[in-house]
Every structure is written in C-alpha cells, then in structure tokens.
Structure 1
C-alpha cells in the first residue's frame, strides 16, 4: 500500500494504527448494536424496541465530535461548502441507516452485515441499465459470487436459537430494508461527491458536521414530533434501564471514533485502502458476532459468508491491480 508522503516505517505504523482503530471501533459497535436489538433489559426483561433512536443518538454525538475537532483545528482558509448544502444528502443518510438498524428486528446481525456488503450489485445494475456501462468478465464473477452468497444465505435455514432472539422474525422484510439502505447510501455518497466537487476546500470535519447537523434535526422531528413521538418512550426506557443507556452511549462513541480513523485512512492511504480494511472488518464482525452473541451459523451459511467475501476480496484485488498498472504507466 502506498501512503501519501512520509517514511516507510512511519507509514506502516500509521496504517496499523488505522486498521486497529477501524476494526476495534466498528466490531465493538456491531456487538453493541446486536445487543441492543436482541437483549432483554432489567428485571422486567423488556426489549429496547426504539432502534431508530440509535440514529438520533449517533447524529448528536458525531455532530458534537466534529464541532470539537473544528474548534481544536480551525480552518486556515474559507471556501468550504455552506451548512445548508447537506440537507438533501442528510435525508437519505438519515433514512438509510435507520432502515439498516430496523432490519435487526427481523434478521440476525450476520445476515444484515452480509446483505449490506452487496453494495456492488445495485451499482452495477444501475450502471448497466441506466448508463449502458460495460463491465469485464472478472467484475461479473465478483457480482455473481456476492449475489449468489447473499441469496443462498437468505434461503439457508436459520437456527432456532437465532430466530428466538429476534423481536419479529421476518426475513423478506429484513433483507428488503437492508437493500433499501444500500439504495439510499448510494444517493448519499453521490450527493456528497457532488458537494466536494463544487467546494473542493471542504474538509472531512465540515462534511461530518453538516451531515450530522441536518441528521439531528430530521431525527429530532421524527422521534419527538407528532404523531410518532417514540423518542420520549426511548428516553424513558433509558432512564428505567441505565444499562441500555450506557450501551447506546458506547455505540455512538464507537461510531464517532471509527469515522475519525476512516477519515485518517482515506487522507493518508486513499479510499481503496479504506475499502480493503472495512471489507475485512465486516467478515471479522460476523465471526465475532457468531462467537460472542450466541447466534450460531450453519455450515451452509458459513459457506455463503466465504463465497461473499471471496467475491469482495477479488473485487478489491482487481482495483489494486488497476491502480498499480496506472502507477507503472505514470512512471
């Protein structure tokens, strides 16, 4: 991996630091997310049903975090995107993750991670149907492995122990919510790219601030406004079950810290290195979830997991090979 500047040994240390930070932050967050969606809290053995509240809490913590970072390291020049430019991307960024979290009521955490790993499928589908893009045979092989693995996992029999932990088992609805999450993520990413293209001096902290500012506004209206107002019930639940409140706080802090390491990785090593780290992290998350949370996967399901991540790994290898060939031509 080629970092942007700095000595060889220094790059290795920074890269190892980024890998450890991303893995620790998001694997811990995944365990906490699964705990909050399946655990029964307190002597009354109640579930935390208001999973959309996690989205609001995450927005607030990340907004405060980015605000503090901008106060510590203020911009030396102007020219960043205005705060109001993030309103549209924040709508889909609010709805998408909420759907992903809500899916945990209906499918297991490993199934959710696997479904959300198939981002390349809608991207290639839209590219072919809408823009007439032609892909190579190896790219189609990657897509076949991922799509086949996710489909086979969805059709494989889930253990009764896993099903009993879900609030309302309903696999088609759960997978549907995950794929809608992917669609909204695609719009969010393209809109963010458009903003940074128009305002190239925008820093990562400003993007984080703008996105989470609007996300907080939308989620406050959704969680505490009429006719839903489930935010009050979520707050009451946290007051009655401090253990749940602590898990939510740790979940949000893990997300904020993880975003920091992602920004550091992209700025020092590029987006491809970040993709590699986050993809391998997803695989480890499934393993950790299966071992720690008592959601055992069958041999067939493990085969599907290996199939999906083989496709993703092959895709990453193709991207690395393309980058290396460009570097050789440049020199």
Structure 2
C-alpha cells in the first residue's frame, strides 16, 4: 500500500469511526428509553466511561503485546493523578449531555487548548509567542458566541440552566490538568503513547469500578439494561468504534505526523456538529454558527502554525513532541 492510499485509509478510518462514535454517544446519552407514557433517560455516566476505559485498556494491552516496547518506568503517582483528571474530564463531559445539546459539547470541548495552554504556563513553565495567543483568543471568542444564552429558557428547568456549561468548564479544567501532568510524565520517563494509554485507562477503569460499586450505579445500570437490553448493543458498538478510532490515530501519527492527524480529527468534529443538527434536530442560531466557525478556524490556524511556535520550556525534551497521550 503506497503512502497516498494509506493516508486515505487512515483518514477515512478516523472520520467514520469517530463519526459513528459521536452518533452512538448522542443516541445513548440524549435518547429516551421506554414507551411514550414512561420515558427514561440514560443517566449512567460512570458506566459509560467505565466501558470506554476498560475497552481502551484492552486495546492498548493488545497493541503492546503485538509490539513490545522498553519497560515503562513512569512513577505510579503520575499515572494515578493523570488517570483521575482524565476520568473526571470524561465523566463531566458525558454528564453535561443531560443538559446541553451534543453540538454544544463538541464545540465546548474543542476549546481544550485553552486550559492546556494556561496550565502549561502556570504549572509546566512554558512560554508561547503572540501567534499562539491570537489563535487561543479566537477560540475563546468562538466558544463565547456559541455558548451565550439569549435568555430563552422556557424549555429548561430554572435550576438546571447553566449546569451543562459548568460541567463542560470543569471537564476542560480537568483536560488542562491532565495535559500538565502528562508533560511532567514525559519529562520524567518519556513513556510511549501506547504505554500512557495503557496506564491511564487501566487506573481509570479501576477507579471507575470502585465508584460504581460504592455509588451502586452498576446495579442500577444492570436493572436498566435488563429493561432495555438493546443498550448493550449501543455500548458495545461505542467501545468498538472508539478502539478502532484509536488504531487509525496511531497509524496516522506514525505514518504522517501529528499535524495531519489533528487536521483530520478537527474536521471530523466540525462534521459531527453538522450531523447532530441534521439527524437529531439540534437547531443552531446564526450566532452559534459564527461561533463554531471561529472555534474551528482558530484550531486549524493553531495546527498549521504550530511548528513555527512550539512552546519554549527551560528544559525542553524532544519526547514532548509526541502527540498521543
């Protein structure tokens, strides 16, 4: 297979796997179960995250068995702390879908570079040039336009107005902390992307299992799944598409670099918003379309100019240039 064909295969693999992943995630979290008289929402965010973490761990383990690597000497503390923030980011992001439409979650999470940069400066001792700040400001303005409420809250309970946005903010904050911890992790022992994926998802799966038992959500979910067994199919497909998407991301990064991979994944997010509008009736007003365009324009500008303004760190290591974490 030549490079052009391999690139097309990887790009289409990422696009379709995560495109279908997004559709499944919205079906699971935003759908109503049962008949018209008794409609139940899916409120089992811990279970959803736990399934993803476990399947990602199995997938990473399989890749490391197929392609053994040098021993990972990363201190357990780093994996524990990064797994906790990674887990909280996923849980709050999924919980937010109970109050905000899926396009809002996608666009909100696209602002991930903001907390990563801020906490990189505060904790990671990094410095960025003016172009980087301009890109980030563009993303901030776009997110603000998209999230701004026009005051029409008739369809939302007064007590829950803003709760979804708050959860997204918490999720982004956890993303920023995860990035800062991973920078420390790379500087300390330089684990590979597969090793980080294994360690973080493994500890996250353990933490989730403990939380599921302590809160009793696992048993509640089993009763829910017994009433609506087809939810298992959606969960299984969600885990499968997520794992396959990870495979194509590894192939893309290894063969064509992180920039090409970022372009493909960001393009996929934009089409995910369009798909959510078309398939699930999540209507966007003109202001929100402007906001979405600004967010993705800022992301693309940041990616294409990235090589020209890499963060400067007092003890920069070349391993920090590896994308997958």
Q: Conserved in 1, the CA contact under 8 Å of 2:115 and 2:175?
A: no
Q: Conserved in 2, the CA contact under 8 Å of 1:41 and 1:244?
A: no
Deviation at 1:272, TM superposition (A): 2.1
The residue aligned with 2:7 is 15
Matched, 1:210 2:199: yes
Distance 1:104 1:158 in 2: 20
Distance 1:174 1:105 in 2: 7
Deviation at 1:285, TM superposition (A): 0.7
The residue aligned with 1:290 is 277
1:34 corresponds to which of 26, 29, 38: 26
Q: Conserved in 2, the CA contact under 8 Å of 1:150 and 1:304?
A: yes
Q: Conserved in 2, the CA contact under 8 Å of 1:159 and 1:298?
A: no
Q: What number of residue pairs does the alignment pair up? A: 306
Distance 1:312 1:281 in 2: 13
Matched, 1:319 2:306: yes
Matched, 1:106 2:96: no
Matched, 1:259 2:246: yes
User: Measured at CA, do residues 122 and 210 of structure 1 come closer, stay the same or move farther in structure 2, by a change above 3 Å?
Assistant: closer
The residue aligned with 2:63 is 69
Distance 1:124 1:88 in 2: 19
The residue aligned with 1:59 is 53
TM-score normalised to structure 1 length:
0.82
Matched, 1:302 2:294: no
TM-score normalised to structure 2 length:
0.84
3-state SS of paired residue (1:270): helix
Distance 1:278 1:167 in 2: 34
RMSD of the TM alignment (CA)? 2.7
3-state SS of paired residue (2:162): helix
Q: Conserved in 2, the CA contact under 8 Å of 1:107 and 1:171?
A: no
1:110-259 alignment runs, 5 A limit: 110-126=103-119, 131=125, 133=127, 135-136=129-130, 138-157=131-150, 170-200=160-190, 202-225=191-214, 228-259=215-246
Distance 1:257 1:240 in 2: 29
Distance 1:304 1:186 in 2: 22
Superposed CA offset, 1:113-150 (max 9, x none): 111111222244445667583531x3333223211111
Deviates more, 1:305-314 or 1:120-129: 120-129
User: Measured at CA, do residues 108 and 63 of structure 1 come closer, stay the same or move farther in structure 2, by a change above 3 Å?
Assistant: same
Deviation at 1:251, TM superposition (A): 1.1
Q: Conserved in 1, the CA contact under 8 Å of 2:56 and 2:243?
A: yes
Q: Conserved in 1, the CA contact under 8 Å of 2:129 and 2:309?
A: no
